[in-house]
């Protein structure tokens, strides 16, 4: 069947006609902004369970942590499907289903793990990821527990910086029942235990491979933080410091890039490529070509690397270029660690010059204004995870008081942990210390990131709550004091063997 278009007097095929009718009668824009829909989701103004557009009933267990930077809107969300299976992962929220494609998420690997696409109004658009996975869709407007006018009034304009990242967890209330001094002491002790465990690992590694190689591996791990720690560690173990010392800077870089698999199979030096890139690629390839047969058994597979969600300036290629520059500094870095010269240690991690990689994120990226190969945050992480952990290995307990005074700028993980445990979106200034924030990270990693029950099955509050646990005599860790003494026992064991 065909119909006449009023605009250009032509016959329209049936599907085009259908679209026209839909646009005419159903194109009222959604009444809420995307940020309001995110608030609606975060605050839970919807019936639960929800039914997807294909009729599957899902029970939302936890809405997730609100992500205010790049990537899906919520992370660590969980729902239960009709078979009882729990799905955990990110959630994306849009006004219209077609926004998924309009925003390019169907081509973006950061959205591959999304478990649910919530939209105000659904349409015939299905939600498909880069690899073709179909994501269930929920039409939120069908499940509101409040009328629209009231909902709008609930969502006044608020600056993005004032938006929360997570709701306080069950442990927040329990912790606040404990006396203030012991409450925060517990967090610091958890942080001290975390650092002691890292220090113990460093100690064991040093006994096995020696100081220089341990330092080299630790620097590589620091460069891989947070998503590529393992491949960076493997790279430093396959290409040991002793094998790289003595090579020129270009050869070191060629070997590291070659073994990590970050050299394209073939570089066509055509006229379209910048002179800079041609020069860099040619030099690196000349070096790699000579050496590659000797190292071919050590190549890392491309699947070893996590590249989605990595900011351009944090790409592994740039970090590898930094590592190549650090080899001649291993001796002085080791001396600074031994002499506890923190400023000198930090200074050695800066001014790592590499004209190509300072202005490129990948081989094919457009050159940008040069940026240091190791940024401030990376150096701060290396200070904590290498400098201070090394100091604990050398000096033991005496470092603890320094760490409880040494300040550290909060990062998104410590802010998230504080929102869950401390119940506030801003970490108070007196808690911005290394030890306290390591404690927050310990709790986040040990409990929050494993939880798929919206805190209900998390053992942490029960560990802290004397009353509920008195009814469960069989539990070994019974209450706040017991949890503290467990931490203390672990600390004592580690302090003795360090
Ligand atoms: S998951 Fe556990 S540790 Fe995390 S906020 Fe909930 S109760 Fe606290």
Query: Which atom of ligand 1 is the closest one to the Cα of 459?
Result: 2
How far does residue 448's CA lie from ligand 1's centre (Å)?
A: 5
Instruction: Find out whether 388 and 403 touch, Cβ atoms under 8 Å.
Output: yes
- Give the per-residue pLDDT at 485: 72
Q: Which tens digits make up the pLDDT trace of 33-59?
A: 899 999 999 999 999 999 999 999 999
d(CA 319, CA 198) in angstroms, rounded, equals: 22
Is the CB of 443 within 6 Å of ligand 1?
yes
pLDDT tens-digit series, residues 61-96: 999 999 998 899 999 999 999 999 999 999 999 999
Res 476: pLDDT: 42
Kindly state the greatest CA–CA separation across the chain.
89
483 lines ligand 1 (CB under 6 A): no
Burial of residue 297 (number of CB atoms within 10 Å: 0-12, 13-18, 19+): exposed
457-466: average pLDDT? 78
Whether residue 307 has pLDDT greater than 70 = yes
Nearest residue (by CA) to ligand 1, atom 4, is 448
Q: How far is the CA of 77 from the centre of ligand 1 (A)?
A: 14
Q: Is 420 in the pocket of ligand 1 (CB under 6 A)?
A: yes
Note the pLDDT of residue 471: 39
Q: Beta-carbon neighbour count of residue 478 at 10 Å? A: 19
- Centre of ligand 1 from the C-alpha of residue 494, in Å: 26
| 137-151, 295-309, 456-470, 476-490: least confident range | 476-490
- Ligand 1 close to Cβ of residue 419 (< 6 A): no
| Ligand 1 atom 1: residue of nearest CA | 448
Beta carbons of 212 and 330 less than 8 angstroms apart: yes
Whether residue 436 is predicted with pLDDT greater than 70 in this model: the reply is yes
Average pLDDT, the chain: 87
CA 420 / ligand 1 centre spacing (Å): 7
Q: How far away, in angstroms, is 2 Cα from ligand 1 center?
A: 60
Cis peptide before 226 (omega within 30 of 0): yes
Q: How confident is the model at residue 209 (pLDDT cuts 50, 70, 90)?
A: very high
Predicted confidence (pLDDT) at residue 158 exceeds the cutoff of 90: no
Lowest mean pLDDT among 192-206, 209-223, 404-418, 462-476: 462-476
- Six-digit token string for 11: 């016959």
Q: How does residue 24 score in pLDDT terms, banded at 50, 70 and 90?
A: very low
Q: Is 491 in the pocket of ligand 1 (CB under 6 A)?
A: no
Per DSSP, the three-state class of 134 is strand
| 163-177, 257-271, 330-344, 379-393: the lowest-pLDDT one | 257-271
The per-residue pLDDT for 468 is 36
Please work out whether the CB of residue 65 comes within 6 Å of at least one atom of ligand 1.
no
Ligand 1 close to Cβ of residue 439 (< 6 A)? no
Tell whether the model's pLDDT for residue 7 goes beyond 70.
no
Give the pLDDT of residue 497. Answer: 64
Burial of 386 (0-12, 13-18, 19+ CB in 10 A): buried
184 pLDDT tier (thresholds 50, 70, 90):
confident
Res. 269: pLDDT tops 60 = no
Which of 419, 460, 462, 464 to mutate for ligand 1's pocket (most ligand atoms within 8 Å of CB)?
460
Q: Is 461 in the pocket of ligand 1 (CB under 6 A)?
A: yes
| pTM of the complete model | 0.82
Residue 27: is its pLDDT beyond 70?
Answer: no
Q: Specify whether the CB–CB gap between 30 and 121 falls below 8 A.
A: yes
Is the CB of 168 inside a 6 Å radius of any atom of ligand 1?
Answer: no
């Amino acid at each position: 069947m065909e119909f006449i278009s009023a605009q250009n007097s032509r016959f329209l095929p049936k599907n085009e006609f259908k679209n026209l009718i839909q646009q005419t009668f159903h194109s009222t824009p959604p009444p809420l902004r995307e940020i309001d829909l995110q608030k609606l989701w975060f605050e839970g103004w919807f019936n639960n369970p929800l039914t997807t557009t294909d009729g599957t009933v899902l029970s939302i267990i936890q809405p997730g942590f609100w992500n205010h930077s790049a990537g899906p809107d919520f992370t660590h969300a969980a729902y239960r499907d009709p078979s009882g299976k729990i799905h955990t992962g990110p959630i994306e929220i849009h006004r219209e289903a077609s926004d998924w494609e309009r925003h390019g998420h169907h081509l973006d690997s950061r959205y591959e793990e999304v478990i649910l696409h919530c939209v105000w109004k659904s349409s015939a658009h299905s939600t498909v990821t880069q690899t073709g996975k179909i994501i269930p869709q929920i039409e939120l407007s069908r499940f509101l527990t409040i009328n629209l006018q009231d909902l709008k009034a609930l969502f006044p304009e608020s600056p993005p910086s004032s938006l929360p990242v997570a709701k306080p967890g069950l442990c927040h209330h329990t912790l606040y029942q404990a006396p203030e001094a012991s409450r925060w002491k517990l967090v610091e002790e958890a942080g001290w235990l975390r650092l002691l465990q890292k220090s113990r690992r460093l100690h064991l590694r040093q006994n096995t491979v020696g100081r220089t190689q341990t330092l080299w591996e630790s620097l590589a791990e620091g460069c891989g933080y947070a998503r590529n720690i393992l491949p960076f560690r493997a790279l430093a173990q396959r290409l040991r410091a002793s094998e790289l010392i003595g090579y020129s800077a270009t050869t070191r870089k060629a070997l590291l890039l070659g073994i990590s698999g970050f050299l394209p199979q073939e570089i066509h030096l055509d006229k379209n490529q910048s002179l800079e890139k041609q020069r860099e690629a040619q030099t690196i390839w000349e070096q790699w070509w000579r050496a590659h047969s000797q190292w071919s058994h050590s190549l890392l597979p491309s699947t070893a690397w996590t590249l989605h969600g990595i900011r351009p300036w944090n790409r592994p290629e740039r970090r590898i270029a930094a590592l190549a520059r650090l080899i001649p500094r291993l001796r002085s870095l080791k001396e600074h660690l031994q002499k506890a010269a923190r400023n000198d240690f930090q200074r050695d991690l800066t001014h790592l010059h590499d004209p190509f990689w300072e202005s490129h994120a990948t081989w094919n990226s457009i050159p940008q204004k040069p940026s240091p190969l190791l940024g401030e945050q990376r150096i701060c992480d290396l200070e904590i995870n290498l400098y201070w952990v090394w100091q604990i290995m050398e000096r033991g307990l005496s470092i603890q008081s320094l760490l409880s005074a040494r300040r550290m700028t909060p990062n998104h993980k410590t802010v998230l942990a504080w929102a869950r445990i401390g119940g506030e979106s801003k970490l108070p200034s007196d808690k911005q210390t290394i030890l306290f924030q390591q404690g927050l990270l310990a709790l986040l990693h040990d409990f929050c990131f494993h939880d798929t029950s919206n805190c209900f099955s998390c053992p942490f509050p029960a560990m802290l709550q004397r009353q509920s646990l008195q009814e469960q005599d069989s539990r070994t860790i019974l209450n706040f004091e017991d949890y503290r003494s467990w931490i203390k026992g672990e600390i004592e064991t580690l302090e003795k063997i360090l």
